Amino acid sequence: MEHFDIVLALSRIALDADAPRAAHQLERLKALLTETDKEQAGKLGRLLTKGARRQAMAPMALEEMRSTAEAARRHLPGETLTPSTPLPHDRETSAPLVNIQFPEGIETEPPILTERLSAAIDDLLNEWQRADELDRIGTRPHTRCLIFGPPGVGKTKLAHYLAKRLELPCVEARLDGLVSSFLGTTARNIGSLFDFANRYRCVLFLDEFDAIAKARDDAQEVGEIKRVVNSLLQSLDGRDGKGFTLAATNHEHLLDTAVWRRFDARIHLGLPDAETRGKLLDTFVKPLSLQGAERRFLQWATEGMSGADVEALIDAGKRFIVLHGGADADGRKRRDAATRGRTILEALRRHALLSGRLFRPDRAALLMGSDEALMQALLNESFTQQETGDLVGLSQSQVSRRKARPETRAGTDG
C-alpha cells in the first residue's frame, strides 16, 4: 500500500483518541492487508494490540490513581490550598517565595523512564493505598524524596507527575525569591516557605536543591551557608509527618551529607538507555512516524543524550524536513526509503552544527565524517546493507562495492 507510513500515523492518532469505530475499520484494513502485504498487516496488528491493551488498562489505572489520591489526602494533614490563598514573600524585595501548580494544570502523562524505575515509582505512590496497614506494622509511606541526575532527564516532570498522581497542589520554591544577599534573610525565607507548606495539604518541591543545601565544609562558602543549611535541616525535620516533600538537583555531589539522610527515597534519573530513547523518539516524532531502521539509527545516534536533548533533536529534524525534505507542511509527502534516510542523516548533521556538543564525540565524528566511515559503523551495528544504503542515500550495490573498497572516497561510485 502506498503512503502506509501516513496510514500508520493516522491510525495511531485515532487509537490514542479511543475511537471504537476507527478501531473497527482498522481491523477490516488489517484483514485485507493480510492477503496482500503481510508485513504491513503485522505492523497494523501490533498497533491495534497496543491500543486495545492501553484502553483495557485505562479504567483500572484511573481508579488506582483516584484511590491513591484519596488515601494521600486522608493521611496528610493541613488546610486546602486554593488559587486565592496568599503566598509568602521575601520581606526585603517582596518577591514571591513559591509558584503553585494545581493538579488540573499538570499533564497526566507520566515521564518516560526505564521499566524498572517506572514500576518503583508506582510502588512508591501505591504505598498510600496501604497506609493503614503500614501504620499497623510501625512504618509509613515515603514522604520525602530526593530526585537527582544530569540535566534534561525529567526530574521536574517527575516531581509534577507525583503531585498530579496524589492530586495535591505542587508548591514549588522560587530560588530568585528564596535566596537573598542579605545576611540571615535566606534562612528566614526558608522558615517562611516551610511554615506555608506545613499549613496546607500540598507537595513541596525544592528544585535546584543544591543552591540551599550545599555541604557546610565547602571551603569556598562563607559562614552564611552553614546558617542556611542548619535552617533547612531544622525545617525538614519539622515537616516530618506534615506533608510530601520533593527535592531535585543536577549536582548531588554538592549536597551536605546530613541533607541526604533527611530523605527516605533517593531517586536517580540517569541518561535514558536505548529502549527508553526509542520510546522518547516515538513520542516526540508524532504526528510523523519512523520506520524500523530509521528508529534504530536514531537510537544509535542519540546514545548519551538526555530526554530533553532527544526532544530538541526531533524538533530540529521536523523543521529540517519541512525546509529541505521535499515534504509538505506536515512532513508527510511520500519519499522513497533512501531519500528519507538521507534526509534524516542531513538533519542530524545540520543539528550537530547548530547544537554544540550535543552528540557523543564518537557519534558526532561519524555523522560529520565520510559516508564510508558511517556506512561501516552501521554495518558493524548489525544494520543490513539495504538499511545502511537507505540511511546514507546509497543503493545496496553501492554499499556492497564501497564495503569491499573502504578506501573509496565519498562522492565516487567507482
Of all residues in the chain, the percent with pLDDT exceeding 70 is 83
Q: What is the pLDDT of residues 182-194, one digit of tens each?
A: 768 888 999 999 9
169, 102 contact by CB (below 8 A): yes
Q: How confident is the model at residue 73 (pLDDT cuts 50, 70, 90)?
A: confident
291, 9 contact by CB (below 8 A): no
Residue 8: pLDDT above 90?
A: no
Closest among 348, 387, 388, 390 to 367, alpha carbons compared: 348
For 414, the 3-state DSSP assignment is coil
Residues 141 and 237 in one domain: yes
Tell me which of 271 and 60 has the higher pLDDT: 271
pLDDT, residue 83, reads 92
Of all residues in the chain, the percent with pLDDT exceeding 90 is 48
Count of C-beta atoms within a 10 Å radius of residue 234: 14
Tell me which of 407 and 162 has the higher pLDDT: 162
For 407, the 3-state DSSP assignment is coil
Residue 363: pLDDT above 80?
A: yes
Closest among 299, 297, 293 to 281, alpha carbons compared: 299
Bridge partners of 79?
200
Q: What is the pLDDT of residues 83-131, one digit of tens each?
A: 999 999 998 888 899 999 999 888 878 889 998 999 999 999 999 888 8
Name the pTM for this structure.
0.76
Mean pLDDT value of segment 251-255: 92
Residue 371: pLDDT above 80?
A: yes
Pairing of strands 170-173, 98-101: antiparallel
Residues 296 and 233 in one domain: no
Mean pLDDT value of segment 362-366: 93
For 268, the 3-state DSSP assignment is strand
174, 133 contact by CB (below 8 A): no
Whole-number Å distance between alpha carbons of 285 and 316 = 11
Residues 396 and 318 in one domain: yes
All three cell numbers of 321, joined, read 524536513
pLDDT, residue 251, reads 93
Q: What is the pLDDT of residues 317-358, one digit of tens each?
A: 999 988 886 544 444 444 567 677 788 999 999 999 988 888
Mean pLDDT value of segment 279-294: 91
Residues 101 and 189 in one domain: yes
Task: For residue 154, count CB atoms less than 10 angstroms from its CB and return exposed for 0-12, middle for 13-18, buried for 19 or more.
Answer: buried
Pick the last residue of a domain from 17, 50, 75. 75
Residues 51 and 105 in one domain: no
All three cell numbers of 243, joined, read 506533608
pLDDT, residue 409, reads 42
Mean pLDDT value of segment 281-288: 92
All three cell numbers of 365, joined, read 565524528
Tell me which of 31 and 336 has the higher pLDDT: 31
Q: How confident is the model at residue 284 (pLDDT cuts 50, 70, 90)?
A: very high
Residue 7: pLDDT above 80?
A: no
What are the start-end ranges of the E strands in 230-322? 244-249, 265-268
Q: Specify the CATH number for the domain of residue 116.
A: 3.40.50.300
Pick the last residue of a domain from 75, 109, 129. 75
Q: How confident is the model at residue 310 (pLDDT cuts 50, 70, 90)?
A: very high
- Domain containing 184 equals 80-268
Most confident of 69-73, 135-139, 210-214, 325-329: 135-139
Average pLDDT, the chain: 83
pLDDT, residue 3, reads 63
Q: What angle do CA 205, 167, 135 make, to 5 degrees?
A: 85
User: Is the Cα dihedral 188, 191, 197, 199 positive or negative?
Assistant: negative
Q: How confident is the model at residue 219 (pLDDT cuts 50, 70, 90)?
A: low
Residues 108 and 233 in one domain: yes
For 371, the 3-state DSSP assignment is helix
HSE-CB for 320 with a 13 A CA cutoff: 20
Looking at the structure of the chain, the number of domains it has is 3
Whole-number Å distance between alpha carbons of 402 and 396 = 10
Bridge partners of 96?
89
Whole-number Å distance between alpha carbons of 212 and 255 = 9
Residues 30 and 141 in one domain: no
pLDDT, residue 396, reads 81
Residues 238 and 136 in one domain: yes
Residues 222 and 234 in one domain: yes
